[in-house]
A and B are shown apart, each in its own frame.
Chain A
Amino acid sequence: MSLPDAIIIGAGIVGAACAERLSADGLRVLVLEADVAGSGATAAGMGHVVVMDDNEAEFALTRYSSDLWRARSAELPQRAEWEPVGTLWVASDAEEFEGARRKLAFYRERGLQAELLDEQSLHEAEPQLRPGLAGGLLIPEDAVTYPPPVAAWLLRQMQERGGELRQSVRVQAIAGDMVVLANGNQLQAPLIVLAAGAASVGLIPALPLQPRKGHLAITDRVPGFVRHQLVELGYLKSAHGSSLESVAFNVQPRATGQLLIGSSRQYGQTSAEINHGILSRMLQQAIGYLPGLAHLSILRTWTGFRAATPDKLPLIGPAPGHEHLWLATGHEGLGITTSLATGQLLADLVAGRPPAIDAAPYAPSRFADSFREEAARAGTV
Chain B
Amino acid sequence: MPAVPQPVRVLVVGAGPAGMQAALTAVASGAAVTLVDGSPSLGGQIWRGEQSHSRAAAALFERVRGSEVRLLFGCQIVDAPEPGLLLGAAEGKAEWLPYDRLILATGAREIFLPFPGWTLPNVFGVGGIQALAKGGLPLAGKRVVVAGSGPLLWSVAAYLRGRGAEIPLIAEQTDLARLVQFAAALRFLPSKFMEAIGIARTLIGTGLRTGCYPVHAHGADRLTAVTLRTSAREWTVDCDYLACGFGFAPNLELPLLLGCTVRDGFVVVDEWQQTSVPGIFCVGEPTGIGGAEKSLAEGAIAGIAATCDVKDRALKGSTASLFAERLRCRRFADALRRGFALREELRTLPASDTILCRCEDVTIGRLIGHPSWRSAKLHERLGMGHCQGRVCGAAAEFLLGWPMESVRPPLFPVHVDTLASVVPSREHDG
Which residues of A are at the interface with B, using a C-beta cutoff of 8 A? 35-39, 43, 79, 148-149, 152, 167-168, 217, 219-220, 256, 261, 273-277, 279-280, 283-284, 286-287, 293-302
Instruction: Give Cα A167 to B421, complex, Å.
Output: 40
Q: Which residue of A lies closest to B388 (CB)?
A: A299
Instruction: Give Cα A261 to B420, complex, Å.
Output: 12
B29 contact set on A, CB distance < 8 A: none
The answer to whether residues A280 and B419 also contact, given A275-B429, A301-B408 and a CB cut-off of 8 A, is: yes
Q: Mark B343-378, 1 if CB is under 8 A from A, else 0.
A: 000000000000000001000000000011011001
Which of A37, A148, A275, A295 contacts B417, CB < 8 Å?
A: A295
B360 contact set on A, CB distance < 8 A: 256
Instruction: Give Cα A295 to B413, complex, Å.
Output: 11
B111 at the interface (CB under 8 A from A): no
Instruction: Give Cα A296 to B360, complex, Å.
Output: 18
Which of B87, B378, B410, B429 contacts A298, CB < 8 Å?
A: B410
Cβ-defined contact, A276 with B416, below 8 A: no
Q: Which 10 residue pairs are nearest across A and B when measured between Cβ atoms?
A: A283-B420, A294-B417, A277-B424, A277-B429, A297-B413, A36-B375, A280-B422, A276-B422, A148-B378, A284-B420
Q: How far is the CB of B325 from chain A (nearest CB, A)?
A: 39
Q: How far is the CB of B258 from chain A (nearest CB, A)?
A: 12
Q: Which residue of A lies closest to B376 (CB)?
A: A36
Which of A167, A297, A302 contacts B415, CB < 8 Å?
A: A297
Which of A79, A152, A273, A299 contacts B413, CB < 8 Å?
A: A299
Q: How far is the CB of B106 from chain A (nearest CB, A)?
A: 19
The answer to whether residues A276 and B415 also contact, given A301-B408, A301-B410 and a CB cut-off of 8 A, is: no
B79 at the interface (CB under 8 A from A): yes
Q: How far is the CB of A72 from chain B (nearest CB, A)?
A: 19
Cβ-defined contact, A300 with B429, below 8 A: no
Cβ-defined contact, A152 with B416, below 8 A: no
Pick out which of these stretches binds chain A: B20-28, B196-204, B273-281, B379-387: B379-387
Which residues of B are at the interface with A, using a C-beta cutoff of 8 A? 79, 81-82, 87, 360, 371-372, 374-375, 378-381, 384-386, 388, 408-410, 413-417, 419-424, 428-429
Instruction: Give Cα A150 to B408, complex, Å.
Output: 23
Which of B82, B371, B420, B424 contacts A36, CB < 8 Å?
A: B371
Q: How far is the CB of A275 from chain B (nearest CB, A)?
A: 6
Cβ-defined contact, B424 with A38, below 8 A: no
| B interface majority secondary structure | loop
Instruction: Give Cα A152 to B379, complex, Å.
Output: 8
Instruction: Give Cα A294 to B417, complex, Å.
Output: 5
A301 contact set on B, CB distance < 8 A: 408-410, 419
Which of B81, B381, B413 contacts A276, CB < 8 Å?
A: B81
Q: How far is the CB of B377 from chain A (nearest CB, A)?
A: 9
The answer to whether residues A295 and B415 also contact, given A39-B374, A276-B429, A300-B408 and a CB cut-off of 8 A, is: yes
B384 contact set on A, CB distance < 8 A: 299-300
Q: Which residue of B lies closest to A301 (CB)?
A: B409
Q: How far is the CB of A61 from chain B (nearest CB, A)?
A: 26
Instruction: Give Cα A302 to B419, complex, Å.
Output: 13
Cβ-defined contact, A217 with B416, below 8 A: yes
Cβ-defined contact, B424 with A276, below 8 A: yes
List 25 contacting pairs A-B, 8 Å CB cutoff, sorted by A: A36-B375, A39-B374, A79-B379, A217-B419, A261-B416, A273-B81, A274-B409, A276-B81, A276-B424, A280-B423, A284-B420, A287-B417, A294-B417, A294-B420, A295-B415, A295-B416, A296-B416, A297-B413, A297-B416, A298-B413, A298-B416, A298-B419, A300-B410, A301-B408, A302-B408
A294 contact set on B, CB distance < 8 A: 415-417, 420
Q: Which residue of A lies closest to B92 (CB)?
A: A295
Cβ-defined contact, A36 with B408, below 8 A: no
Cβ-defined contact, A299 with B416, below 8 A: no
Among A168, A217, A276, A294, max chain B CB count under 10 A is at: A276
Cβ-defined contact, B379 with A287, below 8 A: no
Instruction: Give Cα A37 to B377, complex, Å.
Output: 12
Instruction: Give Cα A43 to B424, complex, Å.
Output: 28
B421 contact set on A, CB distance < 8 A: 280
Instruction: Give Cα A39 to B360, complex, Å.
Output: 19
Instruction: Give Cα A276 to B88, complex, Å.
Output: 12
Instruction: Give Cα A181 to B424, complex, Å.
Output: 42
Cβ-defined contact, A283 with B413, below 8 A: no
The answer to whether residues A297 and B414 also contact, given A39-B374, A276-B87 and a CB cut-off of 8 A, is: yes
A296 contact set on B, CB distance < 8 A: 415-416
Q: How far is the CB of B398 from chain A (nearest CB, A)?
A: 22
A217 contact set on B, CB distance < 8 A: 416, 419
Cβ-defined contact, B79 with A274, below 8 A: yes
